[in-house]
C-alpha cells in the first residue's frame, strides 16, 4: 500500500501545471522548489483543489464528518476537518485505501450508527402498524 509522501518528493507531478508556472513567473521563482520554499505552493494547490471522493464517518462526539480525498495536478491528499491533512499520494485509489486504514474506527462508527438507525426505523414502523391495527401484531416481517 502506498504511504503518504511529503510534497517535496512529488514536485515533478505538479511542475508543469499552468497555475504553477504562472505563480513561479509572478513570484520570480526560477524553480518549483523555490515556489515551495516560499510557502506559496501549498496555498496555490489548496486554492485550486478539486474534490475527489468523500467517505462518511462519525467523529469522537458522534458528529457526522467527511473524509475527503482532494486533488490537484495529479496529486491527491486526505482532508478531515477535525485533523491535519495527510500527505500526498499519486492516485486517488491509494489515498482512499490509506484513509480507510487511517480512519477505520471513524468509518466503522458511521456504518454501525447507520445500521442502528435502519433497525430503529423498522422497529418504529412495525410499532406504528400494530397501533393502526388496534394493537394486533402485524403480519409483516
Q: Where are the alpha helices (DSSP H) in the chain?
A: 11-14, 18-27, 32-37, 40-47, 92-102, 104-132
Instruction: Return the domain boundaries, the chain.
Output: 7-132
The tens digit of pLDDT for each residue in 59-73 reads 877 788 899 999 998
Cell of 102: 487511517
Q: What pLDDT sits at residue 83?
A: 83
CB 73 within 8 A of CB 14: yes
What phi and psi values does residue 7 have, to the nearest 5 degrees? -55, -35
Q: Pick the closest to residue 2 from 86, 80, 79 (CA basis).
A: 86
Place of cell 388496534: 134
Taking residues 66-89, what's their average pLDDT? 90
Q: What is the pTM of this model?
A: 0.72
pLDDT of residue 79: 94
Q: Which residue has the cell 516560499?
A: 38
Amino acid at each position: 500500500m502506498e504511504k503518504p509522501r511529503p510534497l517535496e518528493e512529488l514536485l515533478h507531478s505538479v511542475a508543469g501545471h499552468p497555475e504553477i508556472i504562472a505563480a513561479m513567473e509572478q513570484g520570480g521563482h526560477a524553480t518549483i522548489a523555490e515556489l515551495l520554499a516560499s510557502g506559496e505552493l501549498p496555498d496555490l494547490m489548496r486554492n485550486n483543489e478539486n474534490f475527489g471522493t468523500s467517505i462518511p464517518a462519525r467523529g469522537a462526539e458522534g458528529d457526522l464528518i467527511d473524509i475527503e480525498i482532494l486533488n490537484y495536478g495529479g496529486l491527491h491528499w486526505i482532508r478531515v476537518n477535525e485533523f491535519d491533512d495527510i500527505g500526498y499520494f499519486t492516485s486517488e485509489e491509494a489515498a482512499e485505501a490509506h484513509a480507510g486504514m487511517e480512519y477505520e474506527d471513524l468509518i466503522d462508527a458511521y456504518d454501525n450508527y447507520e445500521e442502528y438507525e435502519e433497525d430503529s426505523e423498522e422497529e418504529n414502523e412495525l410499532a406504528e402498524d400494530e397501533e393502526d391495527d388496534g394493537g394486533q401484531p402485524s403480519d409483516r416481517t
